[in-house]
Structure 1
Amino acid sequence: MSTPRRSTPHTGTRASRTGATRTPGTSSRGTSFSETMLGTVRLDGEDRSRPIRLDLCVTADHVLRPLGTTEAHASGRVRIAGLADDPAAAGELEISPLARRRIRYRLSFTADGRRLTLDGWKSVNPRRPVKSMTVLPFTLHEDGAPVGEGTLRFPVATGLLPFLAGFRFPRTADGGGLMAPRWRGEPGRTEVWYTTVTDPATGTGLWLHHELTAPADGSEPYAHGWAAVFPKDEPVRHARFGPEKWAGGEHGFSADGISAVPGRLTGSAGELRWDLTEQAADTPLFTFPRWSWRRPLLPAAQILPAARASYGGTVSYGSTTLQLAGAPGASARIYGHGNAHRWAWLHADLGGGDVLEIVTAVSRRPGLRRLPPLVFLRLRRAGRTWPRRAERSAVGWGGLGRFRSQIGLPTWTVTGRAGLRRIRVEVTQPDERTLALGYTDPDGAQAVCRNSERADAHVLLERWWGGWRTEREWHLDGTAHAEVGTR
């Protein structure tokens, strides 16, 4: 292949790349767009090139700066004929068409059990703007060593209009600020920080649960939680930590050597050890109405500081150590008076930047307990969230019942309609991939959750075109994160 191997360019300091920072808690506009590129790649030792395709969703936490440099997160699907089809590829883009005259791509993905990194950049040339902005020479690396070369091209004739039409500038919030504790000393409250991850290399699921409980009788608040791993071909393993006296935390959960703060999760429990970095890959997602997080009027509220995130680092259990790189997942927050009477939850990374979050529950409050489960469903596609308002899935415009759930095990379902779209979600939690754990509410009541970080999910999205037609369909085999809680 004629394309020369490239050395890594100097990227400067972090401060010069990211520019001015925002004040925590403020809002601004971000940028998101989708991009498809096609080309070929040749691996070392092979005498032929293989077709390759990238379908990416790119997000930045501010509006692109044409005269400056913007760092963005990229996620999506990498396909190499006969070698790879990874819908959980993740990495970064450095977008600097004028300041540095390049657009650099770094993406990690799994190919035939190997963890590879695609590293390349478009060299922007004002004399040849179209060619230089649409041709991406790249090198494949494995463990830092080059193992192949290739070239990707943006299909201008068929891709330019969808590419331009797909640009979005969503309002963003400081996801790191959403990790800060909400509790202000009131009795009868519980606050949760939890993280769920799928290791793309092994298929192992990970669940980290950190909880502050302030008993209703006014006794001392305490911190506790657990960690669990869901290996693909082994039994689920878990261990609890705490209870410990709650010492407070400025940025997140911190107790007895265990922490969950913006960008980092560390700790140990029993035979489990973890040290992970977390990189937000999307803007915050408010599963419940946004006002319910600011004003805790509902029995509880849940949010995701970032709808998607990628994780790197190590997770150890027994004699096994997992090396995570670009692992998809998310951290979430719960604040309220305790657990529901019964509930179900789903987090599904659908690939290509799409994500689905569902919480369906029956309240413990008198009167509300007699109602069918309320459904809070948020589907984010191409930077847009459907339904537009979280209240829509819970109460609809014509009263209760537009979205319905059937909570049970091993399978539970959610169906609903908003506007010209309707959705059906079926989640399956096989018994051998499900862990049962007890919860204690601030008032001392008990509940049992059954969690699986290797659940299956089928999602069917339809649109009305004079009749219902399939718009998108997703099948998740062991990569959905789900839970059912009962009393």
Structure 2
Amino acid sequence: MSVDTAPVAPARGTVFRETMLGTLRLDTEDRTRRVRLDLTVTADRLLRLSGTTEARAAGRMRIAGWADDPRAEGELEISPWARRRIRYRITFTSGGRRLTLDGWKAVTWRRPVASMTVLPYTLREDGARIGTGTLRFSLPAQLLPFLASFRFPRQEDPDAHLPPRWRGEPGRTEVWYTTVTDPATGTGLWLHHEMTAPADGSEPYGHGWAAVFPKDGPVRHARFGPAPWTRDESGYSGDGAAVQPGRLTGSAEDGALRWDLAERPGDQPLFTFPRWSWRRPLLPAAQMLPAARASYDGTVTHDGSTLTLTAAPGASARIYGHGNARRWAWLHADLGGGDVLEIVAAVSTRPGLRRLPPLVFLRLRRHGRTWPRRPERSAVGWAGAGRFRADIALPTWTVTGRCGLRRIRVEVTQPPDRTLALDYTDPDGGHATCRNSERADAHVLVERWWFGGWRTEAAWTLDGTAHAEVGTR
């Protein structure tokens, strides 16, 4: 006897934006300061007004004359009926100090509007109170943008993209890599784990490296492997280095460089290349991020010193394919407020394709939405017209393009003293050189066509917090 079952629809989450204005009074001051909090809130399920919904928040915290952190993050407990409250715990940095805004809207149906729009809070440092304040949601100014911001995206498990894709074919390479910026010191971190299956059919091996990019001082790096490849169904594991769900650990050069990091995904996956190219490896290679952004806690030890990371922004990514491109450029830019830009521009090694200009895959996730809507749009345009363009060079490279009523210009600079050059071998035996900087500079300009002219819609300048690379074969 068989039972027909209907397919289960993918779970959907909730994304919305909220802006609140108010004041803060520090315990050490006799005056109040103006405050603005802009948040993008993400829940892994549909909101349950009759129950409790846990959500993540990322955004920008501004306190007049005292703090401006575009990478504030935290969590919300949305429980207007069950617990009669909407609680906010938002962590941000001010002058190197890690602070937490802790408060809740006490919901009462006798005063529904006031109770759901007024947020009294306490400002804490290491658990101790240092100030109090109040934030308010303005119904006349913010209600329509708030309602229009709601999205209900399909949910995916970031950990589902960690297991190896390789199934024994010769001439393949697979990569797990992570890039992080420590907000306290400005130090950049790069962890690279790679499986290589040589094209001649010889035994596959695993190898990689870790690199630390201090704000003051030379770049430090160390390699691990090569070592025989042993398949690990949960991620990467080999020669003392491991990538597992929620954790990255390892050491290189007999412990000269060691790391132990907890990883907390902060967003849904981001497919830089078309989604189908990751599921069906028809292109020479494909890249994606299991989570568009993440935060990291833990330690990195090198040269007798230990760097402690706390809520450090970054991301992990995956690559699977036949090897490196003939020439390529890559950028991961955490733009703050939950916004992320990912770019891969590459010239293929395949005959016929190697004479084409770089194909550009650009994905800008802003306010929970990704532009362009389809990854192919930036690479191939419409029947070849309207492709995005890349000028790959060092120390500065650029990407420009237009899609719909928006256009973008990205300029990336990798200063030589902040760039590390590494050589390694592709499956076909060819040698590749990547020049990577985890402390690159970037300027991103997004414009929108409006009543006959281009107007700036958003602009970001990253000073030493962009992650970038230029490579050649």
CA deviation map 1:272-325 (0-9, x unaligned) = 222211111111111000000000000000001111111122222224322222
**CA displacement at 1:400 relative to structure 2:** 5.1
Partner of 2:466: 480
**Corresponding letter in the other structure for 2:383:** G
**CA displacement at 1:192 relative to structure 2:** 0.5
Partner of 1:424: 409
**CA displacement at 1:333 relative to structure 2:** 0.4
Partner of 2:17: 34
Indicate yes or no: 2:378 matched with 1:355: no
Deviates more, 1:182-191 or 1:317-326: 317-326
Give aligned pairs, total: 463
Partner of 2:365: 380
**CA displacement at 1:163 relative to structure 2:** 0.6
The whole-number CA distance in structure 1 between the counterparts of 2:163 and 2:405 is 38
Is the 2:290–2:316 contact (alpha carbons within 8 Å) kept by the matching residues of 1?
yes
The whole-number CA distance in structure 1 between the counterparts of 2:74 and 2:368 is 17
Is the 2:71–2:338 contact (alpha carbons within 8 Å) kept by the matching residues of 1?
no
Q: 1:434 aligns with which of 411, 416, 419?
A: 419
Q: 2:119 aligns with which of 126, 130, 136?
A: 136
The whole-number CA distance in structure 2 between the counterparts of 1:320 and 1:26 is 50
Distance 1:333 1:27, change over 3 A: farther
Within-5 A mapping of 1:380-459:
380-399=365-384, 402-459=387-444
Q: 1:364 aligns with which of 345, 349, 363?
A: 349
Is the 2:386–2:402 contact (alpha carbons within 8 Å) kept by the matching residues of 1?
no
**Corresponding letter in the other structure for 2:446:** L
Partner of 1:279: 264
Is the 2:219–2:418 contact (alpha carbons within 8 Å) kept by the matching residues of 1?
yes
Indicate yes or no: 2:163 matched with 1:180: yes
**CA displacement at 1:456 relative to structure 2:** 0.7
CA deviation map 1:51-107 (0-9, x unaligned) = 221111111222212222222111111111222111111111121221222222122
**CA displacement at 1:390 relative to structure 2:** 0.5
Indicate yes or no: 2:453 matched with 1:467: yes
**CA displacement at 1:222 relative to structure 2:** 1.1
The whole-number CA distance in structure 1 between the counterparts of 2:145 and 2:128 is 36
The whole-number CA distance in structure 1 between the counterparts of 2:273 and 2:424 is 22
Q: 1:114 aligns with which of 97, 107, 119?
A: 97
Distance 1:441 1:27, change over 3 A: farther
Partner of 1:93: 76
Alignment partner of 2:116: what SS? Answer: helix
Indicate yes or no: 2:302 matched with 1:317: yes
The whole-number CA distance in structure 2 between the counterparts of 1:53 and 1:197 is 27
Distance 1:234 1:26, change over 3 A: farther
CA RMSD of aligned residues (A): 1.5
**CA displacement at 1:354 relative to structure 2:** 1.3
Indicate yes or no: 2:239 matched with 1:256: yes
Q: TM-score if structure 1 supplies the norm length? A: 0.92
The whole-number CA distance in structure 2 between the counterparts of 1:471 and 1:386 is 13
Unaligned runs of 5+ in 2: 1-7
**Corresponding letter in the other structure for 1:91:** G
Is the 1:394–1:400 contact (alpha carbons within 8 Å) kept by the matching residues of 2?
no
Alignment partner of 1:200: what SS? Answer: coil
Within-5 A mapping of 1:207-226:
207-226=190-209
Alignment partner of 2:207: what SS? Answer: strand
CA deviation map 1:17-46 (0-9, x unaligned) = xxxxxxxx9832221111111112222322
Alignment partner of 1:99: what SS? Answer: coil
Within-5 A mapping of 1:162-173:
162-173=145-156
The whole-number CA distance in structure 2 between the counterparts of 1:31 and 1:314 is 33
The whole-number CA distance in structure 1 between the counterparts of 2:89 and 2:425 is 44
**Corresponding letter in the other structure for 1:293:** W
Runs of 4+ aligned residues of structure 1 deviating over 3 Å after TM superposition are none
**Corresponding letter in the other structure for 2:469:** E
CA deviation map 1:383-429 (0-9, x unaligned) = 11111111101101131552110000000000111111111111000
Is the 2:210–2:222 contact (alpha carbons within 8 Å) kept by the matching residues of 1?
yes
Indicate yes or no: 2:81 matched with 1:83: no
**CA displacement at 1:143 relative to structure 2:** 2.3
Unaligned runs of 5+ in 1: 1-24
The whole-number CA distance in structure 1 between the counterparts of 2:80 and 2:299 is 35
**Corresponding letter in the other structure for 2:434:** C
The whole-number CA distance in structure 1 between the counterparts of 2:139 and 2:305 is 47
Is the 1:354–1:381 contact (alpha carbons within 8 Å) kept by the matching residues of 2?
yes
Is the 1:208–1:226 contact (alpha carbons within 8 Å) kept by the matching residues of 2?
yes
Within-5 A mapping of 1:41-52:
41-52=24-35
CA deviation map 1:163-212 (0-9, x unaligned) = 11111111222211011111111111111011111111111111111111
Q: 2:215 aligns with which of 210, 232, 240?
A: 232
**CA displacement at 1:377 relative to structure 2:** 0.5
CA deviation map 1:307-361 (0-9, x unaligned) = 1111122222224322222211111000000000010000111111211110000
**Corresponding letter in the other structure for 1:439:** Y
Q: TM-score if structure 2 supplies the norm length? A: 0.95
Is the 1:61–1:283 contact (alpha carbons within 8 Å) kept by the matching residues of 2?
no
**Corresponding letter in the other structure for 1:324:** L
Alignment partner of 2:145: what SS? Answer: helix
Alignment partner of 1:360: what SS? Answer: strand
Alignment partner of 1:368: what SS? Answer: coil
**Corresponding letter in the other structure for 2:285:** A
The whole-number CA distance in structure 2 between the counterparts of 1:106 and 1:278 is 19
Alignment partner of 2:215: what SS? Answer: coil
**CA displacement at 1:251 relative to structure 2:** 1.4
